[in-house]
Structure 1
Amino acid sequence: MLRTITFFTLTLASLVVCAASQEQRSGVYIRSGDSGKLVVSFYEKDKGTFHIDTVGDNAHICSMSGTISGSKGHADKLFEDIDSAECDISISVSGTKVVVGPITQDACRDYCGMRADVYGIYSKPPAMCTDAGKQQHQARFMRAYRAKHYAEATNMLTAMMAQCDDFLFWIEKERMLNDLALSQYHDGNATECLETLNRTIAGKVSSQDELGLPPSDLDAYIDVANATWFNKALCTKKSQLK
């Protein structure tokens, strides 16, 4: 009887560990620079589903869903009634990272624009760096900024950007750098304001032509670029008054 109870206990414990492992590996993973999002869900040890959305240069995108078996991802067909080559990718989960690589690369091109792909290293973001976490932190920053607590706002945004740097889309990052620069400006730190703006693409040049961006990227970025040039003029003027 004791052996039976012990066996049942060990079996139950192994099931709990297995379920926990599946839950830990399941979730949302982000590619560097927030250039892609991978959602994986495991329902058995080595079986599950995945969905990937990525963006490349000039707003070219990829979108792919499918099933996972072992370390292979098999993409759902784009059109069920068309006989097409099978798209397979490698999906390797290790800790908080997932590495996605090519297997049948040519067959997977149909899921992507010319300047986009699904491959690379995807990482689980810390709570602060999820979409919800970033929104909450940005809201706290804005409350401090509007209350004219500029030093607090500066420290808050600096800390968030340091932790979440790899999880920020490049335009989102440049908007935040402008917010940070304005907070530094109002806190009387014109030199720091200029240093922050010089970390941006627009901060290194003085005209739209010098940005050198593809058309769609330029359309998405131009408002941020104009804000950068305006803010840089403010900080330059203030720094010259010292």
Structure 2
Amino acid sequence: MRASSPRWLAACALAATLQAGAAPVDYGTERGWGQLTLDRAARTFAISTVGANAHTCELQGRLSGAKLNEGTADSCRITLTEGRDGRIAVAAMPATEESCREFCGMRAYFDGDYLPLPAACRPDALRQQHARGLADYRAKRFDAALHAWGAGLTACERLMDHFGVWRWRNDMAIAAHRLGRHADCVQWSRAVLDEAAPSTFAPTDADTAAPLLKAARFNLGQCRAALSPR
């Protein structure tokens, strides 16, 4: 894979008027493969994505004007178009699409729709939420742990990558098992395995998936056994 080093690009301005003094806004893709940060005051953007086999794209650049389809640097031109629901559609312009590939690994891309991230779904907030659940679990406050993980997953699942979703489901399953909620444990463990079943993983992705699927199978066995009549 070609190494991806951040470079400054020029990009088109958004269709909406840029507001001076506005704080940077974080966006994310459905299934969590991409992140976009827009700083309208500084007129900058940053895009980071992860594709199959941990290949990445990294772009950093400047908003260059008030019209769409403006901006160029290093022979790469992109557009950022704001939709009515606040999402940003990012695309490489056809004439320079090949030049833009130098910012990405072989199996990564940055074109797509980026949705405004709720505060609870930003990466740092999710890490803190998961850590709170883990602290409660280790202190045997299993109800609190299950609540923390369940709240995070309910709010942010569609914006998380599938490995993250599987990790949180596994944690919820084992907390439910500790609470005697074995049917819930079975449900969440089964959901991980069912979602993974049709997937064919690239080598690096397989390494990430393996312990998650092993944990789901273990949890499923434990909770099915607890439900079996004796």
TM-score by length of 1: 0.76
Give aligned-pair identity as a percent: 26
Kept in 2, the 8 Å contact 1:62–1:118? The answer is yes
Residue matched to 1:33: 31
Kept in 2, the 8 Å contact 1:56–1:117? The answer is yes
Q: Relative contact order (C-alpha < 8 Å, sep 6+): which is higher?
A: 2
Separation in structure 1 between the aligned mates of residue 186 and residue 169 of structure 2, nearest angstrom: 11
Distance 1:204 1:190, change over 3 A: farther
Distance 1:153 1:43, change over 3 A: closer
Residue matched to 1:89: 78
Residue matched to 2:220: 232
Residue matched to 1:115: 107
Unaligned runs of 5+ in 2: 1-15
Residue matched to 2:200: 212
Q: Whose Rg is larger?
A: 1
Q: Which deviates further from its counterpart, 26-35 or 50-59?
A: 26-35
Residue matched to 1:71: 68
Deviation at residue 175 of structure 1 after TM alignment: 0.7
Q: Secondary structure at the match of 1:43?
A: coil
Q: Does 1:198 align with 2:190?
A: yes
Q: Secondary structure at the match of 2:191?
A: coil
Separation in structure 2 between the aligned mates of residue 183 and residue 73 of structure 1, nearest angstrom: 52
Separation in structure 2 between the aligned mates of residue 23 and residue 123 of structure 1, nearest angstrom: 21
Q: Which deviates further from its counterpart, 170-179 or 154-163?
A: 154-163
Residue matched to 2:153: 161
Aligned Cα root-mean-square deviation (Å)? 2.7
Matching residue within 47, 54, 60 for 2:49? 54
Separation in structure 2 between the aligned mates of residue 186 and residue 228 of structure 1, nearest angstrom: 15
Q: Does 1:100 align with 2:90?
A: yes
Unaligned runs of 5+ in 1: 1-17, 78-85
Kept in 1, the 8 Å contact 2:22–2:39? The answer is no
Distance 1:190 1:232, change over 3 A: same
Q: What is the identity, as a one-letter code, of the residue corresponding to 1:197?
A: S
Distance 1:51 1:171, change over 3 A: same
TM-score by length of 2: 0.80
Separation in structure 1 between the aligned mates of residue 114 and residue 196 of structure 2, nearest angstrom: 30
Q: Deviations over 1:19-72 (max 9, x none)?
A: 99344473221122221111222237xxx2222111111212111222222434
Distance 1:120 1:143, change over 3 A: same
Separation in structure 2 between the aligned mates of residue 163 and residue 141 of structure 1, nearest angstrom: 15
Deviation at residue 241 of structure 1 after TM alignment: 3.9
Separation in structure 2 between the aligned mates of residue 168 and residue 198 of structure 1, nearest angstrom: 19
Q: What is the identity, as a one-letter code, of the residue corresponding to 2:51?
A: G
Separation in structure 1 between the aligned mates of residue 175 and residue 41 of structure 2, nearest angstrom: 47
Q: What is the identity, as a one-letter code, of the residue corresponding to 1:49?
A: T
